[in-house]
């Protein structure tokens, strides 16, 4: 039974924040200012559906405006509440600072179970919600830029972008009002998988740090590592897929809403996802052992545990039974502060959410920049590269002629040389670079001060320092 006296998600974020503040020498009152959520807007609106008016409740929390626009996803879930979006908005502030995307933190939520509605109904509801937020500048390219989160994706972002554009017909930057859009609505290649891809890059970087691996008692590479994933949604699916296909890791367990499946020889996330699509859950998936109580699978023996669904799933009640020596928080807030203490005592290393799932906002930043520049991402670089490559090719040809060398540059060579990087390559390399640099900063902080308790605290220290510097530079 979950310990109901345990602090909630928002209190947990605050506890973790305070643990880091203890290491910092901030001017009086600044930590309080950074910690507090600036504002939360609650909206109740009606939509006529199936012959009657249904009332929905939604939120948009703005945690910190030390940089604008503020940024953060919109979540669709039946149990969304104010404290939850405020905690998520706070995490966005710290996340953006950590990976140096120039945004403050925000988050939104709508109390809805999207599975209960037809697509055209969801469109109606989403457009109305977007209208309510946009008319208060809570969706705006320069002030507040949402993105997908649990229960939403490209489809919802396209509706939001279109709704905003209809309300602001003369705003040439309208497309930058939301990120995570489909490509044909101003999206960017690589955004859909960005958060899962970021989780993969984070793990790859962790495995380039032998001292950190040693703390978890891990050796070798990602190849052959046994992984359990909770939540085969956008983030969990992509992380599992890339780790299996590109790093040779073994996905031995998958936990979903209806239970968990286990196969020590490895599961194929594509296959499992298809099965879920057809059967509504993992139950009955061929060749795997099924357990109806999915949470128990979190405790199963493995090398890496990837919670990628809900918050608070590892708490004071089950933390002591967790076997994984390494947990990477693909979801926001999957480990409570109380569980964090217990796991630390056990020597478990946690790669924290504010770093681990920052791939989404990183690529969202690229999309926002692309929308504002009104130019295909990478096109400028490509032009420059092309011009540079062309002049080099010319130079080689002239040299050959001058010296009578008789070289003939092959067509293949020229083509290869003249090929610029395409959008997807640029996005991937930008994301990889971001994840590497941020990890190096937090790992260094962890080791620099022997007394820093863990990677999470180190990540908060790096992040709070940046937010505090920003407040110091600009004033309040």
Ligand X SMILES: NC(=O)c1ccc[n+]([C@@H]2O[C@H](COP(=O)([O-])OP(=O)(O)OC[C@H]3O[C@@H](n4cnc5c(N)ncnc54)[C@H](O)[C@@H]3O)[C@@H](O)[C@H]2O)c1
Binding residues for substrate: 71, 95, 364
If 0-12 CB within 10 Å is exposed, 13-18 middle and 19+ buried, where does residue 50 land? exposed
Q: Which is nearer to ligand X, 204 or 362 (CB)?
A: 362
Q: How many Å apart are CA 284 and CA 289, to the nearest integer? A: 9
- Active-site annotation holds for 107: yes
One-letter-per-residue 3-state SS of 313-355: CECCCCHHHCCCCEEECCCCCCECHHHHHHHHHHCCEEECHHH
Q: Which is nearer to ligand X, 233 or 452 (CB)?
A: 233
Residue 125 near ligand X by CB under 6 A: no
Closest distance of CB 114 from ligand X, Å: 9
Q: What angle do CA 357, 146, 368 make, to 5 degrees?
A: 85
Residue 97 near ligand X by CB under 6 A: no
Question: Looking at beta carbons, which residue is closest to ligand X?
Answer: 233
Q: Which is nearer to ligand X, 357 or 371 (CB)?
A: 357
User: Which of 466, 459, 427 lies closest to 440 in space, CA to CA?
Assistant: 459
The SS3 of residue 421 is coil
Closest distance of CB 243 from ligand X, Å: 15
Residue 148 near ligand X by CB under 6 A: yes
Q: Which is nearer to ligand X, 9 or 446 (CB)?
A: 9
Closest distance of CB 134 from ligand X, Å: 21
Q: Which phi and psi angles does 6 have, rounded to 5°? A: -70, 140
* Residues 83, 423 contacting (CB under 8 angstroms): no
Return the bridge partners of 105, or none.
Answer: 64, 71
Stretches 161-169, 284-292, 330-338, 461-469: which one binds ligand X (CB under 6 A)?
330-338
Residue 149 near ligand X by CB under 6 A: yes
The footprint of ligand X on this chain (CB under 6 A) covers a number of residues equal to 24
Name the token pair of 346: 């056990």
The SS3 of residue 193 is coil
Name the token pair of 283: 């139950």
Residue 255 near ligand X by CB under 6 A: yes
Of 213-232, binders to ligand X (CB under 6 A) are 230-232
Please count the other Cβ atoms lying within 10 Å of the Cβ belonging to residue 146.
30
Closest distance of CB 106 from ligand X, Å: 13
Which residue in 294, 325, 352, 378 binds ligand X (CB under 6 A)? 294
Q: Using CB under 6 A, list all residues that contact ligand X.
A: 148-151, 195, 230-236, 255-257, 294, 308-310, 330-332, 357, 360
Point out the residues that are catalytic: 107
């Amino acid at each position: 039974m979950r310990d109901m006296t345990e602090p909630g998600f928002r209190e947990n974020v605050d506890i973790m924040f305070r643990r880091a503040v203890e290491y910092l020498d901030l001017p009086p009152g600044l930590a309080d200012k950074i910690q507090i959520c600036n504002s939360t807007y609650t909206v109740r609106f009606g939509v006529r559906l199936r012959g009657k008016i249904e009332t929905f409740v939604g939120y948009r929390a703005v945690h910190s405006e030390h940089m604008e626009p503020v940024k953060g996803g919109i979540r669709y879930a039946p149990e969304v509440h104010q404290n939850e979006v405020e905690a998520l908005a706070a995490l966005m502030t710290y996340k953006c600072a950590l990976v140096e995307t120039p945004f403050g933190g925000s988050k939104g939520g709508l109390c809805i179970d999207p599975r209960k509605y037809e697509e055209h109904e969801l469109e109606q509801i989403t457009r109305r919600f977007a209208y309510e937020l946009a008319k208060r500048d809570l969706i705006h390219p320069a002030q507040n830029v949402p993105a997908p989160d649990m229960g939403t994706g490209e489809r919802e972002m396209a509706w939001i972008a279109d709704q905003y554009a209809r309300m602001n017909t003369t705003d040439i930057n309208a497309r930058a009002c939301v990120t995570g859009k489909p490509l044909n609505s101003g999206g960017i290649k690589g955004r859909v998988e960005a958060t899962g891809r970021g989780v993969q890059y984070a793990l790859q970087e962790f495995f380039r740090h032998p001292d950190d691996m040693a703390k978890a008692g891990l050796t070798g590479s990602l190849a052959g590592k046994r992984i359990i994933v909770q939540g085969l949604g956008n983030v969990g699916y992509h992380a599992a897929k890339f780790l299996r296909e590109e790093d040779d890791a073994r996905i031995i367990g998958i936990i979903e809403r209806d239970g968990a499946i286990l196969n020590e020889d490895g599961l194929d996330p594509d296959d499992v996802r298809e099965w879920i699509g057809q059967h509504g859950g993992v139950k009955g998936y061929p060749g795997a052992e099924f357990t109806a109580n999915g949470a128990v699978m979190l405790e199963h023996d493995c090398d890496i545990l990837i919670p990628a669904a809900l918050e608070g799933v590892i708490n004071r009640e089950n933390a002591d039974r967790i076997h994984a020596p390494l947990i990477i928080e693909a979801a926001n807030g999957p480990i409570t502060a109380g569980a964090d203490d217990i796991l630390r005592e056990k020597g478990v290393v946690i790669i924290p959410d504010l770093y681990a799932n920052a791939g989404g906002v990183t690529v969202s930043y690229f999309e926002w920049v692309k929308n504002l520049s009104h130019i295909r991402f990478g096109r400028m670089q490509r032009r420059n590269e092309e011009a540079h490559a062309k002049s080099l090719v010319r130079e080689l040809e002239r040299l050959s002629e001058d010296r009578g060398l008789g070289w003939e540059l092959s067509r293949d060579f020229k083509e290869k040389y003249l090929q610029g990087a395409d959008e997807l390559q640029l996005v991937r390399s930008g994301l990889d670079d971001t994840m590497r640099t941020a990890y190096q900063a937090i790992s260094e902080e962890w080791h620099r001060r022997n007394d820093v308790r863990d990677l999470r605290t180190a990540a908060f220290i790096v992040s709070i320092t940046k937010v505090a510097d920003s407040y110091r530079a600009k004033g309040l």
